[in-house]
Structure 1
Amino acid sequence: MKLLTAAQLDATLAHTRQIGVSNIDYDKCSQELIDHGYSILTIPVHLQKDFWKTVELYPTISGTSKREFAYPDRTDGFMPFGMEYANSTNNVDLCERFCYRDKYRSDHRQHAFADHQFYRHIVDFESGISAIAELVLANIMQKFSIAEPLETRSSSYLQFCAYNKEYRKQDREYLQDRHEDGHLITFVKATRDGLVIFPNGEQQRVILADDEIIVFTGSLLTEMSDKRIPYMDHAVLNPAVQVERSSLVYFVIPELKRKYTSFIERRHLDLEKIANENHESFGNIPFTVTAEA
C-alpha cells in the first residue's frame, strides 16, 4: 500500500474533515447539552469506518512501538497502564490508553509509528470529530449570544481505550469509576455497552446504534456558563463476564493561553489553572506550565 506524503496527508485531511459534518442537527444537540448535559448524534460513515479500523488494528501494534511512541509528560502516545485513575476513588482505570494530540502531529512524523494504519485512522477520526466539536460549541456559544469563537483543537485530544479481559477485577463495580472529565465536552464511541451516565444523579445505561456517538458536558463548560449548563458524571461498568471492550474518546478543551469571561455574569475565568488541576487530579501531567511553576 502506497503511503501518502505529509503534504498529501494534510490535503486529504483538510478535505475529509468537512465530509458529512453538516448533516448533524447542531441546534438540537446544543440545546440538549444545555438542558440535560448529553446528546446522541449520528456520525458520518467515514468516521464509523475509522472507529472500527482502530479497533481491528490495535492488536497489531508491537510492544516496541508502545514503549517508544510514549510521551506521558504531554498526554500523547501510549500511556503507562495505571497512570490514570478516578479522582473520586483513586481506583485506576482498567484499560490501556493511546492519546493523540493534533498539535504534535508534525513531531509524530519523525517516528515510524506514524506510518502504522492504526495511527492513520486515529488521525482521520480526530480530524472529523474535532470539526463536529467546533460546530457543537459554536451553536452553544450562539445560544448565549457569544460571538467570539472558542478555539479548542490545539488543546484537545483523542484517546483510544482498550479494556482488555485480563485487566478485569471481580471486586470492582466499574472498569472506570464514576467521574466527570473536567473539560468542555466529551465524545464517546465504544464497541459494546458499558458506559453509564448519571443525569440528575441516577445511573442510566448508554445504548448506541452503530452509527451513533454520545457527547456530554464537563465542568469547564459549567463554569463558563455560570452553572447554566450541568456537567455529566459517567462511568464504565464492570461486565459480569470477561469481554473485550474498546472505545474512542475525544476530550474537548479550550485554548488555555488566553483569557476568558463567563457567558452570563462576564466573570474573569482562569481556565488554564482549572483545566490543569482537573487533568492532574486524574494522575496526568498538567497541560501547560503555569506562571507559578
Structure 2
Amino acid sequence: MTQTAPLRTATTDAIRKAADDILDRGYAVVKLTDLDARNLRTAISTAVEFFRRPLEDKMAHGSADHNYGYRPFGIEYSITPERPDMNECFTLWSSRLDLIPDAADIDDLTGSFLDWRDSLAPLVKAVLDLVAANFGTAAAPEFEKASYLQINYCLPAPAERDLLQDKHEDGHMVTVLHATAPGLEIYPYGFDNDEVLPVLPDTDEVVIMPGSVLTALSGGKISPLYHQVRNHGLDDRQSIMYFVNPEIEEPLFGWIDSADGTRADIREAVQNAPSMFGLPPVEAL
C-alpha cells in the first residue's frame, strides 16, 4: 500500500472546504503552508533554469516515448495534433528517476519535484478521502504510483493563436495546478456552457480540478472541469501540475451502483485516457 507523508499542506478546515467546493462547485482553491509554498517556488525556478538550456541538453533527459523527463514542443495536444499545446514539458512519474535518461545529472530538478510531490500527496489524499466519504466509501483509491508531476514552460505563440491550450479536461482523477501568470480559464458550468472564468492562483495557492476519472467514480455526480489557456502574449509563464491517477493493478469500481445495480470496472478508461492528448497509457510504476 502506498504510504503518504503526514498532512502538513493545509489545515483541517481548508481540507474540508476543498472537498466541499469540489462537490458543490466543481473545483477548489487551497492555500499552502509556508514550507510547501517554498517547495512550489523551488520546483518552478529550478525547472525554468533547466528549460533555458540548449535543446540538445534537454533532449538528453527525455525518454524515447516522450512520457518521462523532457518532452519537446509539438508532442502533446488538447484536441487535435494540428494544434499542439504551445509549451515544452518536463514530467516525473511517481518516484521513478530510473525512467528519465541521465537523471543523476539533473538531481537538482528531480529533487525539487519530489519535494513538491511530497507536499501535494497528503493534500490530495485528505481531500479525496473526504470526497469518497460523501459517497459512502471509506477512502479514495491509492494513487501515488500512477500519478505524475508535469511543468509546462510556455513558448511564444503567434498572435492569431488565441489559445495556448484548447478547451479540454485532463482525464485524471484530479489535477492539482499552479500557474505563474494569467491564462487559465475554466468552464465552471459544464462543457456545453460557454461562460468562462479566468483563474490565477496566488503564489501560495493551488487549484484542484476534477477529471473524468472522478466523474466515473462518482457515478457522474462530479463533472470533469473543462479548461483552456488563453494567449495573452506573455513571454514568461509556467504551470505546474500534479496529475493524479488511481492505481489500477486491481479492479477499480465506481462508488455508486449503475441503473442495473452493478458497478463497472473503469480501469481501461483510466489507462487509455492520455491517448486523447497523444500520450502513452497510464501505468502503475
Give the TM-score of the pair, scaled to structure 1. Answer: 0.84
Q: Pairwise CA RMSD of aligned residues?
A: 2.5
Which residue of structure 2 aligns with residue 67 of structure 1? 59
Contact in 1 for aligned 2:174/2:243 (Cα 8 Å): yes
- Local SS of the residue matching 1:248: strand
CA apart distance, 1:251: 0.7
Q: How does 1:66-215 map to 2 (within 5 A)?
A: 66-71=58-63, 73=65, 75-87=67-79, 90-105=82-97, 111-115=103-107, 117-165=108-156, 168-200=157-189, 201=193, 202-215=195-208
One-letter code aligned to 2:131: I
In the superposition, relative to structure 1, how do residues 127 and 106 fare at CA in structure 2: closer, same or farther (>3 Å)?
farther
Which residue of structure 2 aligns with residue 264 of structure 1? 256
Contact in 2 for aligned 1:71/1:78 (Cα 8 Å): yes
In the superposition, relative to structure 1, how do residues 285 and 72 fare at CA in structure 2: closer, same or farther (>3 Å)?
farther
Q: Does 1:53 align with 2:42?
A: yes
One-letter code aligned to 1:94: M
- Local SS of the residue matching 2:274: helix
In the superposition, relative to structure 1, how do residues 268 and 192 fare at CA in structure 2: closer, same or farther (>3 Å)?
same
Aligned length: 272
Which residue of structure 2 aligns with residue 238 of structure 1? 231
CA apart distance, 1:25: 1.9
Distance in 2 (CA, whole Å) between partners of 1:88 and 1:228 is 28
Q: Percent identity?
A: 25
Distance in 2 (CA, whole Å) between partners of 1:260 and 1:228 is 17
One-letter code aligned to 1:19: R
Runs (5+) with no aligned partner, structure 2:
none
Contact in 2 for aligned 1:21/1:131 (Cα 8 Å): no
Corresponding residue to 2:17 among 4, 10, 28 = 28
Which one has the bigger helix percentage? 1
Corresponding residue to 1:273 among 268, 274, 284 = 268
CA apart distance, 1:249: 0.7
CA apart distance, 1:36: 1.6
Contact in 1 for aligned 2:44/2:240 (Cα 8 Å): no
Which residue of structure 2 aligns with residue 3 of structure 1? none
Runs (5+) with no aligned partner, structure 1:
1-12
- Local SS of the residue matching 1:269: coil
Which residue of structure 2 aligns with residue 228 of structure 1? 221
Distance in 2 (CA, whole Å) between partners of 1:119 and 1:288 is 20
CA apart distance, 1:265: 0.9
Distance in 2 (CA, whole Å) between partners of 1:103 and 1:76 is 11
